[in-house]
Structure 1
């Protein structure tokens, strides 16, 4: 049994993304509508996700494009306000992701009581956001400084829009990441949000570190969820739950429910097998 059962309540868990609208300081922030609008959209998306039956939710500043690797204080403050406003509405386990700053994600988790964090914790990358040095040793020490050692760390080992500066095989990355850092999970992604995780890469990672939780991190849809979940221990899902399956749209409860009904049927079949 993995920690997914203990923390989220099930194996083959589906962690749904609650993508926050642009926040103060972001280029696309709508200062006329203000934070009330950000909170309103987040509340509606959260309701659609929970009523649709997802297992857990993760709040992220997905529309803070282009992303920073050293996130500003105003972004974390705005995210904390949103989650604080929604606290009485949250009925399922939840995590946070401050894109792309691991320390600030941990700060937000400590402030809001989040149970897990997804981030780029390890590696040095050439990325769309510049040269990116993660300094995992400092991040984990920061976690203990915050007394947040119970927060589960989900390591994204194939960052979207980034590539290792050194050419490394994914099996070597998975093996060394687990040996050196003891992550709670490895997340395997496609190139961008909504792009399917390569099943062959997913299998290589799981075969290399069979005792570590491995999550399909992008592009899991109703058409491929059985294939992806037959390999991965669970999935992080965002775009598939949006109206017409488009990244920029709001969450549609009908799509969530249809997706989760198929997931639950798959789980029952897997248990019987």
Structure 2
């Protein structure tokens, strides 16, 4: 998957079997995910990523087989109907599981947290997994699946690595063969620091993506400094990530993108 000012729209699948907030059948969740994905595709986003954000509280790295199986079922259903590139993230930090699902479903990329420089996440200490993850990708024959990696990730403490700048973190990710780095704000829906984004852009040659806080009102500030934009909350009803994708919000966002692209 090549990035060139790509808009990656988010589909937050329903709370999966076994998680505290699960209240729907897998068939219902597949139908809901397909409905959101079809709106995003029809209105012109460049790619779509699915994520199990409703599964809170999350497990640290290791999720159960019911999560992997459910995400695979949803992913395969999307791949059968969605023609644009597809990606997946499995929270929290279940990067190997995400790779396995991506391979099975024919997805194009994953979003991986904790790739370089361990950090203290909501779920506890998360050690870096670049070496293990890329060896796993090689082992299962999933080299075609891109791995886009968070740096100084949102919802996390980076006190231990505070003396390592975000630019140096990005360089380390590139050195460890990341396919692209993701810059975020401090939490879901929060835009990143433009200063930090520029530092990252100048420090690496691999693609740079923005992973939170982008909407039609602020994307012009970031347009020149990123290759991809992962957009979730601002495309949902009332701007809330928990709600369904709203067609009119997507239309407005894509219209803004088209004007910037001229």
Q: TM-score, normalised by structure 2?
A: 0.94
Q: How far apart are 1:88 and its partner, in Å?
A: 2.5
Q: 2:212 aligns with which of 214, 218, 221?
A: 218
Partner residue of 1:108? 101
- The yes-or-no answer on 1:173 pairing with 2:166 is no
CA contact (8 A) 2:12 2:242 kept: no
Q: 1:49 aligns with which of 40, 44, 47?
A: 40
Partner residue of 2:71? 79
Q: Aligned-residue CA RMSD in angstroms? A: 1.3
Q: 2:13 aligns with which of 13, 20, 28?
A: 20
Q: How far apart are 1:212 and its partner, in Å?
A: 1.4
Q: How far apart are 1:195 and its partner, in Å?
A: 1.1
| Secondary structure, counterpart of 2:55 in structure 1 | coil
Distance 2:258 2:64 in 1: 40
Distance 1:52 1:67 in 2: 32
Tell me, which stretches of 5 or more residues in structure 2 are unaligned? none
CA contact (8 A) 1:52 1:254 kept: no
Partner residue of 2:240? 246
Tell me, which stretches of 5 or more residues in structure 1 are unaligned? 5-10, 269-273
Q: 2:179 aligns with which of 184, 199, 210?
A: 184
- The yes-or-no answer on 1:35 pairing with 2:26 is yes
Q: How far apart are 1:234 and its partner, in Å?
A: 1.7
Distance 1:85 1:96 in 2: 13
Q: How far apart are 1:37 and its partner, in Å?
A: 1.8
Distance 1:51 1:254 in 2: 12
Q: 1:232 aligns with which of 197, 206, 226?
A: 226
CA contact (8 A) 2:47 2:86 kept: yes
Partner residue of 2:110? 117
Q: How far apart are 1:109 and its partner, in Å?
A: 0.8
Partner residue of 2:190? 195
**Cα offsets for 1:75-134 (capped at 9, x unmatched):** 010011112223332121111111121111111111111111111122211121101113
CA contact (8 A) 2:116 2:172 kept: no
Aligned residues: 257
Partner residue of 2:80? 88
Distance 2:220 2:191 in 1: 13
Q: TM-score, normalised by structure 1?
A: 0.90
Q: How far apart are 1:53 and its partner, in Å?
A: 1.0
